[in-house]
Amino acid sequence: PNPPLLRGGNESNVPLARGENESNSSLPKKEKIDLGVPVFELTMNDRTISQQGTGKISILSPAELEIAEVTADPGVARTGASTDFSRMTPLPKGTRATIIGREGEWIRLDYGAWIKASEVRIVKDSVPPRSIIRSARSRQVPGWTEVLFPLEIPVPVTVQEGERTFTLTLYNTTAQTDIIRLDDDPVISSLVWQQTSPLQVQYTFNLKSAQQWGYKLRYDGTTLVLSLKHPPANTSMMPNSSAKPLSGIKILLDPGHGGPQDSGGVGPTGYREKTVALIVSKLVREELVNRGANVVMTRVEDVDLDLPPRVEMIQKEEPAIAISIHYNALPDNGDAINTKGVGAFWFHPQAHSLGMFLHNYLVANLNRPSYGVFWNNLAMTRPAVTPSVLMELGFMINPEEFEWIVNPTEQQKLAEAIAQGITEWFASVK
């Protein structure tokens, strides 16, 4: 169909707001102006409809800006004013930005993201938070390289992982940079930077390896601290080592669900996802320990465990990798007979290789059907401190696959394949 024409010669796609104050050129400039509720009109084929807007329009006083300071650790930044909108890079606690809009419980920050009002405190100021950056430097702490960006104020940031790059963007920031010291480093090959627009500085880390092992962002006062994780110190890789292949490597396993409140998916006989996830996770642990790994589990019994404590455990333990073990279900109207197979889920690009490898390995070596490899924004794939993947090993509600899921011999074979897949993946990314 033809797009409806907007009245008034407006060439953009934005409907014209026709409030009572048609002109504001004579309004005083220093105070907040309330323009009231807008009425939207739409004309198509000589027919006009109008509808009252749901919010008010006001012009904020430029002399009294509202500044948001992130109090959550971290603040969840989104592309729009509801949880339906995608997550952007979380904002470290202390980040400041000017508020340029509101919708319900949400506020819009000047660099484009939205955040819940409950995750910030509001301070008034007459100047927007902007910073100059003059230098950057790095230091090494056990297991990590920290890159320090001294700023005048904690500004919003985003990061992007590439194939062999890590890009950090600082908003509301202008460079006066003359020198950056960056000595040889286990992770970083070189750092280049650019003022990409008047208020945006972008730092691109060229990396020594295609595999990235995790990152953290925090404000230490007004200094942004970016931490990049070193590859795991695998002692079996040392010359003349007789150590087992995963020696020195910490792996976190997360058996999904648990406890009386959260059974996960339920199979045809009433058998529960939480039960088989725990059985298989323990078998995987045994296989990994046999290969020399140090294995940490989020639960070892049938206990209630919410997602936030599982995520906190990943952040505290800082394992080399984290794997969440699940079995899949379908909505009530799903096709239980024809839906089956192994699924892998990743969120940060650093977890993609591990998810893809394990999926392919199980499909090829156990002759399992493939459900697919998915980018997915899940609580257990979101931790950035390590490559975090979630495996859905099969469908509880598929009668044929269910037989395989509950068979103890097959569970043992599956655990061996997962552990061997992990071992071969580590060898492949060295």
- What is the DSSP secondary-structure string of 65-128? EEEEEE-SSSB--BSSSSTTSPB-SPBPTT-EEEEEEEETTEEEETTS-EEEGGGEEEEEESS-
Closest approach of Zn ion to the CB of residue 286, in Å? 22
Give the residue, chosen from 94, 264, 383, 387, that forms a contact with Zn ion under the rule CB under 5 A. Answer: 264
Residue nearest to Zn ion (CB): 326
Closest approach of Zn ion to the CB of residue 411, in Å? 16
- Sign of the CA dihedral running 379, 104, 125, 170: positive
Closest approach of Zn ion to the CB of residue 317, in Å? 21
Region of 68-76, 229-237, 326-334, 383-391 interacting with Zn ion (CB under 5 A)? 326-334
Of the pair 90, 264, the CB lying nearest Zn ion is at 264
Q: Is 291 helix (H, G, I), strand (E, B) or coil?
A: coil
Q: Is residue 310 within 8 Å of residue 375, measured between CB atoms?
A: no
Enumerate the β-bridge partners of residue 34. 58
Cα distances (angstroms) measured from residue 72 to each of 47, 101, 151, 165:
49, 20, 20, 28
Region of 4-12, 39-47, 231-239, 323-331 interacting with Zn ion (CB under 5 A)? 323-331
Comparing CA positions, the residue from 227, 97, 205, 222 lying closest to residue 156 is: 97
| Contacts with 38 (C-beta within 8 Å, 6 or more apart), sequence order | 17, 18, 19, 52, 53, 57
Of the pair 256, 394, the CB lying nearest Zn ion is at 256
According to the binding rule CB under 5 A, does residue 256 interact with Zn ion?
Answer: yes
H or E segment to which residue 196 belongs: strand 188-197
Of the pair 38, 264, the CB lying nearest Zn ion is at 264
Phi-psi region of 429 (alpha: psi -120 to 50; beta: other; left: phi over 0): alpha
Closest approach of Zn ion to the CB of residue 329, in Å? 7
Amino acid at the residue 294: N
According to the binding rule CB under 5 A, does residue 310 interact with Zn ion?
Answer: no
Of the pair 96, 326, the CB lying nearest Zn ion is at 326
Closest approach of Zn ion to the CB of residue 264, in Å? 4
Of the pair 232, 255, the CB lying nearest Zn ion is at 255
Region of 96-104, 115-123, 256-264, 365-373 interacting with Zn ion (CB under 5 A)? 256-264
Give the residue, chosen from 326, 340, 348, 359, that forms a contact with Zn ion under the rule CB under 5 A. Answer: 326
Closest approach of Zn ion to the CB of residue 165, in Å? 34
Amino acid at the residue 316: K
Region of 55-63, 107-115, 240-248, 318-326 interacting with Zn ion (CB under 5 A)? 318-326
Per this entry, what is the length of the chain? 430
Closest approach of Zn ion to the CB of residue 334, in Å? 15
Q: Which residues bind Zn ion (CB under 5 A)?
A: 256, 264, 326
